Chains A and B, each alone.
Chain A
Amino acid sequence: MAARAVAIARGAPGHVAAALVAAVILAPVAAVLWRAGGGGWPGPADWAALRFTLTQAALSALISVALAIPAARALARRRFAGRRLLITALGAPFILPVIVAVLGLLAVFGRGGLVNAGLDALGLPGIRIYGLHGVVLAHVFFNLPLATRIILQGWQSIPAERFRLAASLGMTPTDVMRHLEWPMLRAMLPGALMVIFAICLSSFAVALTLGGGPRATTVELAIYQAFRFDFDLGRAAVLASIQLALVTLAALAALRVTQAGGFGAGLDRSLRRFDAETPALRLLDAAVLLLVAAFLLTPMAAIVWRGGAALAGLPVAVWRAAAVSLGVAAASTVLTLALALPMALAALKRPWLEVVGLLGIAASPLVIGVGLFVLINPWADPTALALPVTALVNAVMALPFALRVMIPQLRDTVADFGRLADSLGMRARDRLRLVILPRLRRQIGFAAGLAAALSIGDLGVIALFADPDIATLPLQILRLMGAYRMDAAAGAGLLLLTLSLAVFWLLDQGGRADADA
């Protein structure tokens, strides 16, 4: 039965896509190992870096997801003016280049930031953001929006009919939690934790800048040291492999504990929550949303404030870079979808395929870049291939998010409509066209938006391949900062934020053209 229900997911294209992705990640690591003539054993300092990396990644994932649950619930059961705009704006931190976001955070939590100014005015002692707590705070800032969106999709996957039934049975919010929401969370949370843990594993600049010193050394920094100081490629590759192994283990564990929601099919009616219409719950949801919005949007406002003045006077080179970034983003979005759809379909039968997708975000950008360089250099000029390689790497980096967003919905769709499609004798192509794609529109739109926005904001590997005449926007921001032009960099940061959000909004809305108002 199960085999028939997923008959649609004949995996060949999915396996090809997964093999390609694995090759893009593993071949560079192997190339670095090969170039080094063998591995190098990590020293005690490297192990300390590994411990710190694991601690901060685990804490960041747990806290992001824990905070995302009430936020997603509030967004799921409330309808208010500007709700969609809020959902889009909440996604902003996720797509910002690290240094722009860190400066935004510091404008709120830093020494001269709003929080300290407020505490000072009240005669209270100030806070210090630097340390493990600062690293976790920044990671929660980056990843809370993603966790919220993933979990929100879980809520939206519970058919409205179930809530109506719950209401007609007179269920209390606690009952609804136990019978509807908790099973959904059981299905969604491990995946969300896994993705965020993987992102935080390869964090480097955030961890170092807010960590306050070498105590906050992460594996990626240890890789830098191996590469730059000792030119020990073997050690760099071994450290990168350890990172990949950790993500694989975490992902396999998450997949093991994931249980399907199994709510059955509904008529896709808009969600009205009869159980949650008490004043206390309204107040609770409003408070949650206000707090989350304040936490995420105040630093954004600081970035807009800082960058606004310089936006008009931005040098031509920055606009040119913006055009290049848009082109790269378009290519990498198409590529992400082309890889994600077949992989998501194949992953219904073989869940471990998703693990292959996850490797992309956990892989060390430095090692991937160096490895690609080693691979390309004998055949072609890496500089000439800077843009295609950047688009490819960006696509692979966005893949895990696309998969995480698509797979749960796909699983439900196949479970709910697979048998009907079987009994109608639908062919695979018709199923895809008539059943799967229409029900996956929202997820495809969201994934495309995310892939495009991430690609615009990500430095990717271009810094290693840079050509003086072709720069992407994030690279141009780095160059402006490197040339003392912090104000122009802030303006370019705002331009990047605006472009990313606009592209994300367009694609995300495109996927929900028919969604409930």
Chain B
Amino acid sequence: MKYLALATGLFAATIAVAETPTLTVYTYDSFVSDWGPGPAVKKAFETTCDCTLKFVGTGDGAALLARLRLEGARTDADIVLGLDTGLTAAAAETGLFAPHSVSAEYDLPIAWDDPLFVPFDWGYFAFVANAGADLPANFRDLAASDTSIVIQDPRSSTPGLGLLMWVKTAYDGDAEDIWRGLSDNIVTVTKGWSEAYGLFLEGEADMALSYTTSPAYHMIAEDDDSKVAVPFDEGHYMQIEVAGKLAGTDQPELADRFLEFMTGEEFQSIIPTTNWMYPAVMPQGGLPDAFDTLIAPEKSLLVPADEADEVRDKALEEWLRALSR
């Protein structure tokens, strides 16, 4: 039955292609889930484009790039959405992306002038804790305290990699020392963000690595203001999520329209309460009230995209050395 329905659906889709064009967007899995931005974005874009917007979800940002590399120039994707600045240099190197024509008034902590990739949201990594606890003010404080943390493995998780880059940019030569100091604070290292955040909510650790925007979810969706992001005075590492157009797309105009739409009012106002990140372009209505209560880091840290690979490899080596002892 299921397969029959599936086959019928495919057949119908094939016919539909002849009439309305389809724009295929590869993205990470949580973007397309019922609780992510995907369904609302699809609906909004399809009412304006006279086309079908087809999302294809694959793991996370790194898995997305790996899939694109697997498919190479033969890929069906017109747009790839969900890479971050740690991946854009490697993505650009594939030669699969084409320059975009979007210009927008970005609301980012840094200037944006990448010719291939358009940002759609951003956030700061931060440790999230229960309000009222005695919380450290930086990594050295944390290492000296007995506050326990759960983090993600940089080899399998994007936030895990973000933390690696955070410590490396904040401490450079001393990063390995910091990790050695943190080793007795780390309860465990998980495969992905969900496991770490789940363990924290279950009380397995005092803090988990997440985003400064995480408390907004609890306030808005659960009416719970007991979770706070902890400000660190070294500054916070940023994640800027971007999309790009494939050079081999058979829908170049539609792809341009989508990127334009992506920095527009409708898309951007969906982001804060579905992806729980800051919009790349501030929507006219501003942000939900709960976002006003979030911490605003004084210093933004980010490794330039073209240095990301090199810094990452070195930082991972140090991380493994410091924590494997």
Which residues of A are in contact with B by a Cβ distance under 8 Å?
35, 45, 48, 99, 102-103, 106-107, 110-112, 130, 204-205, 208-215, 221, 224-225, 227-229, 231, 315, 317, 324, 327, 370, 373-374, 377-378, 381, 383-384, 387-388, 463-464, 466-468, 470-471, 478-486, 489
> Is B299 part of the contact surface with A, judged by Cβ < 8 Å?
no
Alpha-carbon gap, A209 to B69, bound state (A): 29
Does A214 lie within 8 Å of B202, measured CB to CB?
Answer: no
Residues of A within 8 A of B63 (CB): 228, 464
Residues of A within 8 A of B6 (CB): 384, 387, 470
Does A221 lie within 8 Å of B153, measured CB to CB?
Answer: yes
Does A215 lie within 8 Å of B56, measured CB to CB?
Answer: no
Residues of A within 8 A of B191 (CB): 204-205, 208-209
Cβ of A485 to closest chain B Cβ, rounded Å: 6
Residues of B within 8 A of A384 (CB): 6, 10
Does B155 lie within 8 Å of A112, measured CB to CB?
Answer: no
Residue interface bits B210-223, CB-to-A below 8 A is 1, else 0: 00001001100100
Contact of B190 among A111, A208, A225 (CB under 8 A): A208
Cβ of A377 to closest chain B Cβ, rounded Å: 6
Given contacts A45-B320, A225-B156, A327-B1, 13 further A-B contacts (CB under 8 A): A103-B198, A110-B204, A111-B187, A210-B188, A212-B188, A213-B324, A377-B71, A467-B57, A468-B38, A468-B56, A481-B194, A482-B193, A484-B214
> Is B102 part of the contact surface with A, judged by Cβ < 8 Å?
no
Alpha-carbon gap, A467 to B62, bound state (A): 18
15 pairs from A and B in contact (CB 8 Å cutoff): A45-B320, A106-B199, A213-B188, A213-B189, A221-B153, A224-B156, A225-B156, A327-B2, A387-B6, A388-B3, A468-B33, A468-B55, A481-B194, A482-B33, A484-B217
Most buried by B among A111, A212, A468, A478: A468
> Is B66 part of the contact surface with A, judged by Cβ < 8 Å?
yes
Residues of B within 8 A of A489 (CB): 198
Residues of A within 8 A of B39 (CB): 468
Cβ of B146 to closest chain A Cβ, rounded Å: 13
Alpha-carbon gap, A227 to B65, bound state (A): 10
Which residues of B are in contact with A by a Cβ distance under 8 Å?
1-3, 6, 10, 29-30, 32-36, 38-39, 55-59, 62-63, 66-67, 69-71, 74, 76, 148, 153, 155-156, 183, 186-195, 197-199, 201-205, 214, 217-218, 221, 276, 312, 316, 319-320, 323-324
Alpha-carbon gap, A466 to B217, bound state (A): 25
Does B156 lie within 8 Å of A483, measured CB to CB?
Answer: no
Contact of B57 among A102, A107, A466, A483 (CB under 8 A): A466
Does A107 lie within 8 Å of B202, measured CB to CB?
Answer: yes
Residues of A within 8 A of B55 (CB): 468
Cβ of A179 to closest chain B Cβ, rounded Å: 48
Residues of A within 8 A of B190 (CB): 205, 208-209
Residues of B within 8 A of A210 (CB): 188
Across the A-B interface, give the 6 residue pairs with the lowest CB-CB distance, nearest first. Answer: A483-B35, A481-B194, A479-B33, A468-B32, A112-B203, A482-B30
Contact of A315 among B34, B56, B156, B217 (CB under 8 A): B34
Alpha-carbon gap, A80 to B303, bound state (A): 66
Does A486 lie within 8 Å of B320, measured CB to CB?
Answer: no
Cβ of A171 to closest chain B Cβ, rounded Å: 51
Residues of A within 8 A of B62 (CB): 228-229
Does A387 lie within 8 Å of B3, measured CB to CB?
Answer: yes
Residues of A within 8 A of B148 (CB): 111
Q: A213-B186, A466-B29 are in contact. Are A478 and B194 (CB under 8 A)?
A: yes
Cβ of A87 to closest chain B Cβ, rounded Å: 30
Residues of B within 8 A of A470 (CB): 6
Cβ of B271 to closest chain A Cβ, rounded Å: 14
Cβ of B22 to closest chain A Cβ, rounded Å: 12
Residues of B within 8 A of A483 (CB): 30, 33, 35-36
Alpha-carbon gap, A92 to B9, bound state (A): 36
Q: A478-B194, A482-B29 are in contact. Are A463 and B59 (CB under 8 A)?
A: yes
Residues of B within 8 A of A485 (CB): 35
Does A111 lie within 8 Å of B204, measured CB to CB?
Answer: yes
Contact of B323 among A215, A374, A388, A482 (CB under 8 A): A215
Instruction: Please name the residue on chain B nearest to A128 by beta carbon.
Output: B187
Alpha-carbon gap, A214 to B325, bound state (A): 9
Residues of B within 8 A of A387 (CB): 2-3, 6
Residues of B within 8 A of A464 (CB): 58-59, 63
Cβ of A235 to closest chain B Cβ, rounded Å: 13
Does B156 lie within 8 Å of A221, measured CB to CB?
Answer: yes
Alpha-carbon gap, A463 to B33, bound state (A): 12
Alpha-carbon gap, A208 to B189, bound state (A): 7
Residues of A within 8 A of B187 (CB): 111, 130, 212
Residues of A within 8 A of B214 (CB): 484
Does B324 lie within 8 Å of A214, measured CB to CB?
Answer: yes
Instruction: Please name the residue on chain B nearest to A210 by beta carbon.
Output: B188
Does A484 lie within 8 Å of B197, measured CB to CB?
Answer: yes
Does A111 lie within 8 Å of B156, measured CB to CB?
Answer: no
Alpha-carbon gap, A478 to B34, bound state (A): 12
Alpha-carbon gap, A489 to B186, bound state (A): 25
Alpha-carbon gap, A231 to B319, bound state (A): 20
Does A213 lie within 8 Å of B183, measured CB to CB?
Answer: yes
Does A479 lie within 8 Å of B35, measured CB to CB?
Answer: yes
Does A214 lie within 8 Å of B153, measured CB to CB?
Answer: yes
Alpha-carbon gap, A112 to B57, bound state (A): 36
Instruction: Please name the residue on chain B nearest to A475 by beta carbon.
Output: B29
Q: A228-B66, A315-B34, A482-B30 are in contact. Are A112 and B56 (CB under 8 A)?
A: no
Residues of A within 8 A of B57 (CB): 466-468
Cβ of B203 to closest chain A Cβ, rounded Å: 4
Alpha-carbon gap, A248 to B130, bound state (A): 49
Instruction: Please name the residue on chain B nearest to A374 by beta carbon.
Output: B70
Alpha-carbon gap, A187 to B218, bound state (A): 55
Residues of B within 8 A of A111 (CB): 148, 187, 203-205
Residues of B within 8 A of A478 (CB): 29, 194
Residues of B within 8 A of A227 (CB): 66
